[in-house]
Chains A and B, each alone.
Chain A
């Protein structure tokens, strides 16, 4: 749809005709300050479409205080290749005229044609309200309401569905929504949101659980009852059997038999014990007698032993005596041999000493001659040293002074060279016979001289020339030269020489003399390191030593020839010494042994005599014989007793008295147990009979059967209700899943358009739209998801505009007219957003005509369209 012209007259502030013409198919920017009529133009556009020309409730269109006004709106627009012209007048002389490519419609027919074209509705009565505005209500943003979306979308929904095609139809026409509601409510009677049972189902589950519990309890009781019945029968059978042949009686009989048998055995045991005592005493007596006989036998043995011992000792004493004698002889012999060997050893030692002395005397004599020579040389050297020292002291030249002389000479020569270079040169070649006088000097022939100070050159016959040598330096050089020459002469005088060369020669001479002195000192040091006196003293000491040695040698005898080696002689002495010691100790041992044996023999003889006396006593002999005969009698008695005891013990063993005692105990206990068990049976039978006959068990199984029947019924009801709940749950899940899939599919085109614009405003953002096409959430990267209502006013308005543009795109695709009006919209956008929105609007204008009214033209300058300023307010 393209609006070409909008004209108003007699309408609010436009008393005269005002028109917007040549409107651009894309963006149109109508600017003007507040109160300049922008909203009036929007209102006029609304009135032209939404208000019935015949309505009387549009008095707001009248200019102020003009009850007779006839507000009029005229529009020209194109859509679908057709040209529409609409003129509408309100309140007075009302009319509505619509021309479509020459077709002419009037009044209500015209209005309805427009309604169908744009998609809105008329009120039954009175002024048109937003809820009637349908699609234009969505696309035309009234001042300050850009952020409101819910209402406009709701009001347009019906028309949107009509316009946006089959998909919307399908969703609407389907029975799904009401089904989902009713099935959902049926489900919620049985299940919670999470699918847990509630209501009747929950109640039934509880009842069922209770019934099952009751049933299981009864089953257990019945089972116990059956067990008790079986037990009772078993007990009765056992009890009867026991009563018929009582087992305790048999056991008691066996016990009594065992008691009798044990009694007999105990009698036998007593008799046995008496015999055993008798045997024991016989054995004791026998043992005592045998012991006394044994003692006597031992004493005899000892007497024989003593006799043998004394004989042995006698033999031993004899042998020891021989040993002592032999050792005494050997000792004496060794002593003699030792004395001889020691004499021989002394002789050999003297001979060795003699030879040693001879050698040392020889050595000392040789040494003495050398020492005497050295002493003589040292004394010579000392004289030479004294001479050199004297010489050196005489020719003393100070090297530092020679150095100073050298420096003075050097400076003198330098100054002379300088004087030479600065002085005035006079070269002359005179005739042979002529001469000149220069100062005191007479010049002849050919030569050269220098002048360093003013001089007079007499030119004989002519006069004289005064020559002043040039330069200041010359005078000072001359002065320095004189100074240095004086210095030089002083130095020479000091040194006592005529020239520097002489001074140098004297210095060299001195150095040579010093060297010679050093050499002489060293030689003296070598010859007499501790001085000459010490050397002489050493010599004296040696001479006296030599004298001593000679005296000692004189005292020794002349050594004989062919003496054996000293080591051999000494070894022989040592060997003999050792031998001597050994014989001495052996001799002392042998003597000790001999006296010990002797003492031993004395004791043995004493013992022997005492023992012999005792054994030969007649009383003692008689006692021994009596004991012997008593012992034989006892032996016989003991053998008889032992046989008797063995036989009796075997008989008692065979009767097994321990086992008999155990039997008595065992049979007694058996009888008691059997009686006790029978009593217990009786007790349990009585108890069970009481229990089973009690009131509690009456009808137990009947109760169980009833409870089982009740549980079965509840199971059945529960299964049926549970099936219903599951079925409802499945139904709801399936329906909802299918429905959301379909909604998703239907909304896809619109979503694409929203995304297209949203990218320009919030890159990376996503706008969630619910199935009623209303925005719910804005999801931006890096920030939390925000519900649409919670967005700032500005953001909501921007999203609102975007969504409207998306709708416009969708409507345009469906071939519907789209005219977009923005009345002072987006005033809350900051600079960045406004930039973004300008791109959005510019992009939308390539598909739709946009009428934009603003009082801030500067904000929208970058839309790239000329402003259409409204005329200033007339006073």
Chain B
């Protein structure tokens, strides 16, 4: 007999194998490893929630050829849930003639509970009373709606019909990417689906009461669109409105902040923002404005402190000018022709990054000599 209430975990876009060149090696290595660890956490959650199945709506892998080690580690991470996993190929891991899925099977003895939806059709899970209607990508990109087939797919009686697809729901995201792998917004209704589990969008997004994007469980970009979650979907019976619960499973938080720096108060604001960041923060700072020498020195210290605090830091400061005050220049005893060079570079720095860097180097050197002379 089927259980009273069907409980699913809906996830997508694991992007296993993705690398992060924008960060330093060590930082990036952690980010890559964490994606597999988060899958383990997700399986753990499924076990804890006694889920009937875990549906992964595409882009399990970031690429078609991953190392054997990665295959093994992912398989191992998925041992945390012994129930059925239904894995759908997305655009990154499309079910091509020769694909990452075949390789995975070849390299690793996979357990029975891993179901690969490599062909369009229904994966029937009678124990769960669940029929999963799958629309896998068998090419990297298609221009027609693969889920259209759901409308005519028959399932065994008394099954809860759940669609599993990867692509762009038309008219929702307003992005150029919509053109590829389109999905009709009313697919759930048209195909009499109890729930449509979608992947491709990396944030959690509700299309309607039956159609959701779960988003990626582990964030991988600076975009504030509720990533790092997995959806728990409860369906009491065929035709019933599903209850969807969001669970945060992501480890790292990707934060991007801009600061306009001009006066000491601005630096204080930056300093106090540090409280929100910790070892799990992947931080991008965009700094602009103009600072005098003292401000610059203080900023340097703050940056060091932030760097020490967060997991990874990227700073974009091309828009930040160094404007030594007259007092700065007097303090540095930068007179005569040195003062002339400073003026010249100060004029040029907005247009020429080399001059900006030269100015910084010159002032830093003067300050250092000043400090030596003072000591």
- Name A's B-contacting residues (CB within 8 A): 170-171, 173-176, 178-179, 182-183, 186, 222, 225-226, 228-230, 232-233, 236, 688-689, 692-693, 697-706, 708-713, 723-724, 726-728, 730-731, 734-735, 738-739, 741-742
B98 within 8 A of A: yes
Question: Does B336 lie within 8 Å of A742, measured CB to CB?
Answer: yes
Kindly count the residue-residue contacts between A and B in the assembled complex, taking CB atoms under 8 Å apart.
145
Contact of B341 (CB < 8 Å), options: A232, A711, A735:
A735
B335 within 8 A of A: yes
Q: For B345, list chain A residues within 8 Å (CB).
A: 731, 734
- Cα A785 to Cα B28 in complex, Å, equals 63
Stretch at the interface among B44-52, B186-194, B251-259, B349-357: B349-357
- Cα A698 to Cα B63 in complex, Å, equals 11
Question: Does B67 lie within 8 Å of A693, measured CB to CB?
Answer: no
- Name B's A-contacting residues (CB within 8 A): 17-25, 28, 62-70, 96-99, 102-103, 106-107, 332-338, 340-341, 344-345, 353-355, 357-358, 360-362, 365-366, 369
Question: Does B97 lie within 8 Å of A705, measured CB to CB?
Answer: no
Question: Does A727 lie within 8 Å of B21, measured CB to CB?
Answer: no
Question: Does A735 lie within 8 Å of B338, measured CB to CB?
Answer: yes
Besides A702-B63, A738-B338, 4 other CB < 8 A contacts? A171-B336, A701-B66, A710-B21, A726-B357
Question: Does A713 lie within 8 Å of B25, measured CB to CB?
Answer: yes
Question: Does B361 lie within 8 Å of A724, measured CB to CB?
Answer: yes
Question: Does A170 lie within 8 Å of B361, measured CB to CB?
Answer: no
Which B residue sits closest to A234, measured CB to CB?
B97
- Cα A702 to Cα B16 in complex, Å, equals 9
Question: Does A182 lie within 8 Å of B365, measured CB to CB?
Answer: yes
Contact of A698 (CB < 8 Å), options: B68, B99, B335, B358:
B68
Question: Does A698 lie within 8 Å of B18, measured CB to CB?
Answer: no
The answer to whether residues A699 and B336 also contact, given A175-B366, A179-B369 and a CB cut-off of 8 A, is no
Which A residue sits closest to B357, measured CB to CB?
A727
- Cα A734 to Cα B23 in complex, Å, equals 35
- Cα A712 to Cα B20 in complex, Å, equals 9
Q: For A228, list chain B residues within 8 Å (CB).
A: 98
Question: Does A742 lie within 8 Å of B337, measured CB to CB?
Answer: yes
Most buried by B among A700, A701, A735: A701
- Cα A173 to Cα B103 in complex, Å, equals 74
- Cα A97 to Cα B139 in complex, Å, equals 110
- Cα A119 to Cα B239 in complex, Å, equals 108
Question: Does A176 lie within 8 Å of B357, measured CB to CB?
Answer: no
Contact of B337 (CB < 8 Å), options: A688, A700, A709, A735:
A735
A–B pairs, 10, beta carbons within 8 Å: A175-B333, A176-B338, A183-B362, A699-B67, A699-B69, A704-B63, A705-B63, A738-B340, A738-B341, A741-B337
Most buried by A among B19, B20, B24, B362: B19
Min CB gap A695→B, angstroms? 9
The answer to whether residues A706 and B19 also contact, given A178-B369, A182-B365, A723-B354 and a CB cut-off of 8 A, is yes
Min CB gap A732→B, angstroms? 9
Min CB gap B135→A, angstroms? 19
Q: For A701, list chain B residues within 8 Å (CB).
A: 17, 62-66
Min CB gap B97→A, angstroms? 3
Q: For A179, list chain B residues within 8 Å (CB).
A: 338, 362, 365-366, 369
Question: Does B357 lie within 8 Å of A705, measured CB to CB?
Answer: no
- Cα A702 to Cα B336 in complex, Å, equals 57
Q: For B366, list chain A residues within 8 Å (CB).
A: 175, 179
Question: Does A713 lie within 8 Å of B354, measured CB to CB?
Answer: no
- Cα A521 to Cα B357 in complex, Å, equals 146
Q: For B21, list chain A residues within 8 Å (CB).
A: 708-713
Question: Does B334 lie within 8 Å of A731, measured CB to CB?
Answer: no
Question: Does B63 lie within 8 Å of A229, measured CB to CB?
Answer: no
Question: Does A693 lie within 8 Å of B106, measured CB to CB?
Answer: yes
Question: Does B355 lie within 8 Å of A182, measured CB to CB?
Answer: no
Q: For B68, list chain A residues within 8 Å (CB).
A: 698-699
Which B residue sits closest to A178, measured CB to CB?
B369
Q: For A171, list chain B residues within 8 Å (CB).
A: 336
- Cα A701 to Cα B64 in complex, Å, equals 7
Which A residue sits closest to B17, measured CB to CB?
A702
Question: Does B20 lie within 8 Å of A709, measured CB to CB?
Answer: yes
Q: For A708, list chain B residues within 8 Å (CB).
A: 19, 21
Q: For B99, list chain A residues within 8 Å (CB).
A: 229
Question: Does B66 lie within 8 Å of A739, measured CB to CB?
Answer: no
Question: Does A175 lie within 8 Å of B338, measured CB to CB?
Answer: yes
- Cα A702 to Cα B73 in complex, Å, equals 14
Contact of A174 (CB < 8 Å), options: B65, B336, B354, B355:
B336
- Cα A693 to Cα B65 in complex, Å, equals 11
- Cα A178 to Cα B98 in complex, Å, equals 67
- Cα A734 to Cα B348 in complex, Å, equals 13
Contact of A689 (CB < 8 Å), options: B98, B103, B354:
B98
- Cα A727 to Cα B363 in complex, Å, equals 12
Q: For B354, list chain A residues within 8 Å (CB).
A: 723, 726-727, 730
The answer to whether residues A183 and B337 also contact, given A698-B65, A698-B68, A699-B68 and a CB cut-off of 8 A, is no
Min CB gap B139→A, angstroms? 9
Question: Does A229 lie within 8 Å of B96, measured CB to CB?
Answer: yes
Which B residue sits closest to A685, measured CB to CB?
B97
Min CB gap B70→A, angstroms? 6
Min CB gap B44→A, angstroms? 25
Which B residue sits closest to A743, measured CB to CB?
B337
Q: For A730, list chain B residues within 8 Å (CB).
A: 354-355, 358
Question: Does B65 lie within 8 Å of A705, measured CB to CB?
Answer: no
Which A residue sits closest to B63, measured CB to CB?
A701
Q: For A175, list chain B residues within 8 Å (CB).
A: 332-335, 338, 366, 369
Which A residue sits closest to B22, measured CB to CB?
A712
Q: For B64, list chain A residues within 8 Å (CB).
A: 225-226, 229, 701
Question: Does B361 lie within 8 Å of A731, measured CB to CB?
Answer: yes
Q: For B63, list chain A residues within 8 Å (CB).
A: 701-702, 704-705
Question: Does A174 lie within 8 Å of B338, measured CB to CB?
Answer: yes
